[in-house]
Structure 1
Amino acid sequence: MSATTEARVLDWLAGRQDEMLVALEAMVNTDGGSYDKAGVDAVGEQVRAFFSAHGIPVETVPGSRFGDCIRATLDAGEGAEANEGNARRNILLMGHRDTVFPKGEPERRPFKVENGIATGPGVADMKAGLVMNMFVMAAFKAVGGAPGPMVALFTGDEEIGSPEGRPVIETEARRARVVFNSEPGRANGGVVTGRKGGVFMAVEIEGRAAHSGGNFEQGISAIGELAEKVRAIHALTDLKRGITLNVGLVSGGQSVNTVAPHAQLQIDLRYVEPGDRDEIMGRIHEIVAKSFVPGTRAEMTIRGEFLPLTQTPAAARVFEMYREAASEAGLSITGDFSGGCADSGFTAAMGAPTLCAVGPVGGKAHSPEEYLEVASMVPRAQALARAVLRLDRAGL
């Protein structure tokens, strides 16, 4: 692509901050918790309406329980379609529409901008990234300069492990030339080049009820078993290897004067190396199968899972190319590692060179203090557009 094409794309984006904020306000003020399919799909309708207004084709991959996947597409710009090999593959921009917040949160904390800081549920994680992807796609549509076919994917269930979105993401990753996941940029302005994998599990424990005073000896305490399992599971943590186990939720029992007939614990496993997953899961299964309190039994269910984002040589080239492109927008970029999980792990595992957290800068996600630096929206969009235009420089 020519320098003229790049300049035209950047100029088109340069004056769009106010329009971006209008789109972002509408998204933030729409309910969109992961389990609120209607709300997540309402945000999807806003995405669809934007692309329709800009003449960009959109298709929907329906979700049965969670938000639909929205897929917008652009053909390659003039001249790019004649390129051979990898240039024919898709440039994938990715993001999720769901948030972690309960229904009604936008009414309690609506979108607001004060002193250059935007707040509201999901403002950074990751509705600002969605808006950025929308406008980058619109810029290439307006200018006609994409160096290859482009796809923008908007999923609806990332915050709960993408149970329905994952196969859609993996299908896109198989035909992707490169993946940019627009999770929020780090507070220091960095992007994410590596993430931990995660497995989220629930363990149901059964014991036997008995009156705690009248016939205590006939009871089998599920809570007693839970306590032993928690201790054993936490002992698997190995900080030097980046492996952490956290039992974050426990429940159980019938009444204070009843030996507990049932209990539940929920486990969060995080790991760095892909090979560590099976080892630790095997040890967890052993703990679940063992009855520390004779007569109890337990069953474990995996409720969600993310794969780690590991940096391949191709992904490292993408980062270096993005860092150079961002520097021309006045941004100083570092490549950071995050213990948090994201859909970018799925694309990386499929072999697609992946860079994460290229969205506008924000922080304190999943909390009432979540914020977005408004002034980062246009420069980060321009950095992404530059990176898209310079894929050949990274040998991609």
Structure 2
Amino acid sequence: MTLSTAKKVSNSALAPYADLLCDWLATQEDEMIQCLQKLVDTDSNSYDKDGVDAAGKLMASWLEADGIECRWHKSASSGDVLEARIASGFDKKDAQPAIYLMGHRDTVFPKGTTATRGFTRDGMTAFGPGVADMKSGLVLNCFVLRGLQYLLNNSDLTELPHPVVGLFTGDEEIGSPEGRHVIQQMVKGAKAVFNAEPGRISGNVVSARKGGASFEILVKGKAAHSGVNHADGASAIGGLALIITELHALTNYETGVTTNVGLISGGMSSNTVASDATAKLDLRYITKEQMVDAIDAIQAIVDTPRLNGVTASVRLISAFHPFESSMSDVLLAHYQKQAESLGFTVEGEFTGGCSDAGFTSSMGVPTLCGTGPVGAKMHTDGELCLLDTFVPRTQAVAKSVLLLP
């Protein structure tokens, strides 16, 4: 294929290169599935740093074999962040804002899961821990990067319109306590972000998400024998029960704000007035304003005295910003155009689940989420990925990246 290229290439001039890119990706289905199997069969629970890093090293081996530069951002406890770059070296200042392909390598499944329940498939449906959330999306992003590198190696296109960066974290499932800092540092001022969380079972991508926060509530009381000197005690469990009732009353389905105390513990025995109690609270919201208001309300509830001798405190464990639809509108329309050219239609969909898309969108970076292959039943033993969506979804992202104005 021979086409002249200049410093700035118009979309019309790039169209033949997009066709060449999609033609190459159409030949890669078998290798995509093989890579997915290897990645799924690599345990990578969020708290298994070695496993999450092993998954990253596997991805890096595919990319580096094609001449794509990779480097690591070290994390203290979580999996290190893998960065891969197309069209600009690590020591070269980018002339244009970069487009980021994002994903997380960690899963919710305990270490050792793959020994008894690894990758399997039934025709064009694949099963296994993390097969949809989000190892298929990681493979998709790797093949977008490899496809763009293929263009540079096998056509007279000497550079991409924008630098393209893969950014793969290791702790999203536990709130991105370390990965968020790399994301916020790297993605600031970016051209766009495509976050390859699983496509919805409806076939849609994700154009908006709720934000979410996790809290730990600690309640202290005074122990006493419940038969001999009950009056001398102050029940931490009793105090926690009153707090939970008020926390749950913050739920408002009309506004989309929900609260849920999903874990509680405390006490020593049924015949001892409990001296301590603990609860884990989940909060969901649609806007940043709701997040601020709800956090203030939670703090006020916990700080309010209720029982003599009982005190309580609350600690924010992690928080995701909401991914608001205003930050996906333009990018969604662009993606839809590429999808239509490939023969499928797609809409944007709102979901209550959180993702790292909340961080990038809250920084003002146009973001589209759920761009991975279609999946379902995430976080369960029945998690699945529809393999026949692998190639077209990879092509759609690749074209969207290459032809982004």
TM-score (norm 2): 0.93
2:99 equivalent among 91, 102, 108 = 91
The equivalences for 1:125-274 within 5 A come to: 125-144=133-152, 146-274=160-288
TM superposition shift of 1:389 = 2.0
The equivalences for 1:1-396 within 5 A come to: 1-75=13-87, 88-144=96-152, 146-312=160-326, 315-392=328-405
Partner of 2:139: helix, strand, or coil?
helix
Structure 1 counterpart of 2:147, one-letter code: A
Preserved CA contact (<8 Å) 1:197 1:345: yes
Preserved CA contact (<8 Å) 2:208 2:328: no
Preserved CA contact (<8 Å) 1:147 1:388: no
Preserved CA contact (<8 Å) 1:193 1:311: yes
Question: What are the superposed Cα offsets for residues 275-320 of structure 1, whole Å, 9 maximum, x if unpaired?
Answer: 11111111110111112222111111111110000123x6311101
TM superposition shift of 1:191 = 0.6
Structure 1 counterpart of 2:335, one-letter code: Y
Partner of 2:296: helix, strand, or coil?
helix
RMSD of aligned alpha carbons: 1.5
Partner of 1:176: helix, strand, or coil?
coil
Q: What is the aligned-residue identity percentage?
A: 44
Preserved CA contact (<8 Å) 2:284 2:352: yes
TM superposition shift of 1:3 = 2.2
CA distance in 2 between partners of 1:184 and 1:382 (Å): 15
Preserved CA contact (<8 Å) 1:113 1:119: yes
CA distance in 2 between partners of 1:300 and 1:194 (Å): 29
Structure 1 counterpart of 2:315, one-letter code: T
Question: What are the superposed Cα offsets for residues 259-287 of structure 1, whole Å, 9 maximum, x if unpaired?
Answer: 01110011100001111111111111011
Q: Which runs of 4+ in 1 moved over 3 A?
A: none
Preserved CA contact (<8 Å) 1:87 1:147: no
Equivalent in the alignment of 2:5: none
CA distance in 1 between partners of 2:337 and 2:95 (Å): 21
Partner of 1:275: helix, strand, or coil?
helix
Partner of 2:373: helix, strand, or coil?
coil
TM superposition shift of 1:87 = 7.6
TM superposition shift of 1:12 = 1.1
- Give structure 1 stretches of 5+ with no counterpart: none
CA distance in 1 between partners of 2:133 and 2:64 (Å): 24
TM superposition shift of 1:175 = 3.3
Preserved CA contact (<8 Å) 1:181 1:356: yes
Partner of 1:340: helix, strand, or coil?
coil
Preserved CA contact (<8 Å) 1:87 1:177: no
Partner of 1:384: helix, strand, or coil?
helix
Size of the aligned set, in residue pairs, is 384
